[in-house]
């Protein structure tokens, strides 16, 4: 976890699948946290990096639960001060967690609808043998969501981002990066600018609106 003092009490919870060595990944997170004025918490999946165990779908969900629990208990954070960030297959545990826990916000970077839909793009429903069925979970997310996707993504087709965005109930303006592929989104200048706007402007506004709506529910009209 980085030690950058956040200007806002927001902590970026990274569940990213990045094609980077640990050294480059660490440098990226430090730079990102500094620019966004956020602390960043990241972890390896079971069977990846220095983590023990085996990489399975079930372990993905257990891993994200363990990481989230660590932020709540060891670091004493509240869920409404945490932004979840998932990239590529990292969006799978991110969506699963966000569908069960309300947080400050969620960033879905190059999300996939499901495993089979990646290889069979014309599939219109989820079968019992399908893995990573994120498209069937996003409707349960009660937090503001920003979707990022490159229009020329050669791994997870751009259509996945469009469908995820369409099925998610609370969204802000997405970031569709014209010409971006699967592994170069971070190189576009709009990427950082859009994240800063999401954290500095849109999330505080969403929280204020939710608080106002909550207050209105308790207003009793005078007779």
Active-site residue list: 88, 153, 182
CA pair distance 90, 109, nearest whole angstrom: 9
Per DSSP, the residues of the chain read ---PPPSSS-EEEEEE--S--HHHHHHHHHHHHHHHT-EEEE-PPTTSTT--S---HHHHHHHHHHHHHHHHHTS---GGGEEEEEEGGGHHHHHHHHTTS--SEEEEES--S-HHHHH-TT--S--TT-S--GGGTGGG--S-EEEEEETT-SSS-HHHHHHHHHH-SSB---EEETT--SS-GGGSHHHHHHHHHIIIIIHHHHHHHHHHHHHHHT-----
Structure tokens belonging to residue 112 = 């996939």
Structure tokens belonging to residue 126 = 């989820």
């Amino acid at each position: 976890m980085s030690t950058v003092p956040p200007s806002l009490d927001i902590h970026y919870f990274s569940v990213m699948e990045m094609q980077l060595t640990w050294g480059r990944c660490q440098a990226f997170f430090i730079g990102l946290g500094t620019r966004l004025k956020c602390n960043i918490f990241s972890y390896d999946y079971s069977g990846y990096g220095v983590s023990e165990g085996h990489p399975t779908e079930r372990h993905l969900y257990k891993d994200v639960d363990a990481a989230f629990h660590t932020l709540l208990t060891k670091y004493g954070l509240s869920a409404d001060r945490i932004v979840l960030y998932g990239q590529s297959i990292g969006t799978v545990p991110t969506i699963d967690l966000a569908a069960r826990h309300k947080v400050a916000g969620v960033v879905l970077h190059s999300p996939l609808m499901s495993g089979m839909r990646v290889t069979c793009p014309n599939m219109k429903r989820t079968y019992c043998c399908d893995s990573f069925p994120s498209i069937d979970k996003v409707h349960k997310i009660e937090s503001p969501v920003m979707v990022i996707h490159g229009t020329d993504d050669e791994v997870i087709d751009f259509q996945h981002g469009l469908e995820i965005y369409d099925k998610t109930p609370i969204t802000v303006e997405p970031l569709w990066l014209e010409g971006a592929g699967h592994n170069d989104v971070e190189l576009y200048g709009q990427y950082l600018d859009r994240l800063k706007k999401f954290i500095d402007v849109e999330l505080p506004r969403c929280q204020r609106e939710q608080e106002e709506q909550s207050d209105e529910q308790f207003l009793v009209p005078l007779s």
